[in-house]
Structure 1
């Protein structure tokens, strides 16, 4: 089994759009109102934006820490 890059998956707009579409279609298929499906879809996409932002900022911060460590190491040499 191949390793899954969860960071890439969780920040993928295509994945979140597919999830939102699936959930909204399931709501409509089980007799829910289209208005409810629209609201749930909006909530999923808003949550996806927050998740992508948090992961992106974490990766940026991690890259900055590694850069600072490398600069400090180079200055000592």
Structure 2
């Protein structure tokens, strides 16, 4: 399984938040708790997606810089 790709997927984080919300409701947690935990999960997901996207862009830019630089 390609975890880097999976963690970079917005669908994965939406699924994780949905599952967590369902589990919390089944466990009897209050609505306030479910909303807070769902918010934390989606925030973490957004940060992970951003970090992986920036890493991809940086790697692509580094590759193009190496090709343009005759000294490298």
Tell me the TM-score normalized by structure 1.
0.82
In 2, distance between residues paired with 1:5 and 1:13? Answer: 15
**1:8 CA drift (Å):** 2.1
Structure 2 matches for 1:1-77, cutoff 5 A? 4-72=1-69, 75=70
Q: Which has the larger radius of gyration?
A: 1
**1:24 CA drift (Å):** 1.1
Tell me the TM-score normalized by structure 2.
0.88
The alignment yields a C-alpha RMSD, in angstroms, of 1.3
Count how many residue pairs are aligned between Structure 1 and Structure 2. 71
**1:13 CA drift (Å):** 1.1
Q: Flag structure 1 segments of 5+ consecutive residues without an equivalent.
A: none
